[in-house]
């Protein structure tokens, strides 16, 4: 899906073409249509008397995030918005300028020997310093509940797509390993499922955490 919105994030390499995933929660809410819904399920009859379920629809992309499982609307609202951010991260891609698009035949040794995080970021304009600041010894340190998680998922898939969906090349460009990427995505199963969906399309085996 082409990019349709932008953010003024200070770590932006191309602020005019940023994904809506970078928007702060309040800004993303303002860009959405919110529906209050009634849902049946655990919680007894009282749950069905009020509209506690929430659905956010992002008109610019057509993507939806919904939460029905909590008893209180405020909790469902927060969960629904984060689910929408994950949908955006998995769907909306940031195109790379042709001069910055890595080759599918990327030299893994050269990428492994990048002298600094700033140079690594410059090697692919869609991986912000936010990504590299979350690395510790090659491990991606970010909780799925963190605001940064959906952003990093988005940046991973941007770089992954630019590298011809070559996972080792992508991991090298991001100064980590394929196994660490899998662990990172598995924190939200839908994210790992998207990676496996793309691998299946290429005839590759599924990856497990």
73 is a domain residue:
yes
Tell me the pLDDT band of 104, cut-offs 50, 70 and 90.
Answer: very low
Higher-confidence residue: 203 or 119? 203
- Kindly state the average pLDDT of the residues 103-109: 39
1 in a structural domain: no
Q: Using one digit for the tens of pLDDT, what is the confidence trace for 29-61?
A: 999 999 988 766 555 555 445 678 999 999 999
Domain boundary among 69, 91, 113: 91
**Mean of the per-residue pLDDT values for the chain?**
79
pTM: 0.76
* pLDDT of res. 29: 95
pLDDT in tens, 161-182: 999 999 999 999 999 999 999 9
Residue 99 pLDDT level (bands cut at 50, 70, 90) = very low
- Number of independent structural domains in the chain: 2
Q: Rounded distance, CA 209 to CA 206, Å?
A: 10
- The confidence score (pLDDT) of residue 193 equals 98
CA distances for 105 relative to 163, 169, 170, 174, angstroms: 8, 8, 11, 16
Residue 193 has which token pair?
């499922």
Query: What's the mean pLDDT in 129-148?
Result: 95
For residue 71, the model assigns a pLDDT of 78
Does a structural domain hold residue 144?
yes
H/E segment holding residue 26: helix 25-30
Is the same domain home to 29 and 65?
A: yes
Q: Is residue 155 part of a domain?
A: yes
Q: Considering 53, 73, 91, which residue would you say is the last residue of a domain?
A: 91
Q: Which residues pair with 56 in a beta bridge?
A: 34, 65
Q: Residue 135's beta-bridge partner residues?
A: 140
For residue 185, give its domain range: 98-201
Residue 68 has pLDDT above 60, yes or no: yes
Q: Which residues lie below 8 Å from residue 178, measured CB to CB, with a gap of 6+?
A: 167, 168, 171, 207
86 and 120 housed in the same domain? no
Cα torsion at 168, 205, 209, 113 (round to 10°)?
-10
Asked if 67 and 77 touch (Cβ cutoff 8 Å), the reply is yes
Over residues 124-148, the mean pLDDT reads 88
Residues belonging to the chain? 209
What are the residues facing 33 on neighbouring strands?
57
Angle at 104 between CA 98 and CA 108, to 5 degrees: 115
Q: Please give the radius of gyration of the chain, using alpha carbons only, rounded to the nearest integer.
A: 18
| pLDDT over 80 (residue 17) | no
Domain shared by 115 and 193, yes or no? yes
**Taking 90 as the threshold, does the pLDDT of residue 126 lie above it?**
no
């Amino acid at each position: 899906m082409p990019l349709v919105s932008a953010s003024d994030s200070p770590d932006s390499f191309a602020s005019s073409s940023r994904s809506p995933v970078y928007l702060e929660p309040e800004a993303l809410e303002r860009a959405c249509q919110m529906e209050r819904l009634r849902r049946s399920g655990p919680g007894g009859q009282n749950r069905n008397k009020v509209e506690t379920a929430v659905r956010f629809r992002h008109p610019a992309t057509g993507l939806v995030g919904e939460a029905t499982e909590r008893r209180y609307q405020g909790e469902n609202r927060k969960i629904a918005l984060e689910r929408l951010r994950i949908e955006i991260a998995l769907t909306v891609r940031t195109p790379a300028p042709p001069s910055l698009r890595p080759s599918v035949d990327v030299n893994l040794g050269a990428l492994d020997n990048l002298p600094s995080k700033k140079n690594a970021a410059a090697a692919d304009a869609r991986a912000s310093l936010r990504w590299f600041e979350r690395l510790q010894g090659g491990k991606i340190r970010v909780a799925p509940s963190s605001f940064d998680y959906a952003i990093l998922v988005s940046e991973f898939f941007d770089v992954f797509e630019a590298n011809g969906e070559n996972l080792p090349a992508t991991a090298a460009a991001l100064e980590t390993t394929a196994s660490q990427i899998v662990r990172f995505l598995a924190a939200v199963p839908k994210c790992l499922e998207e990676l496996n969906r793309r691998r299946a399309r290429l005839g590759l085996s599924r990856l497990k955490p």
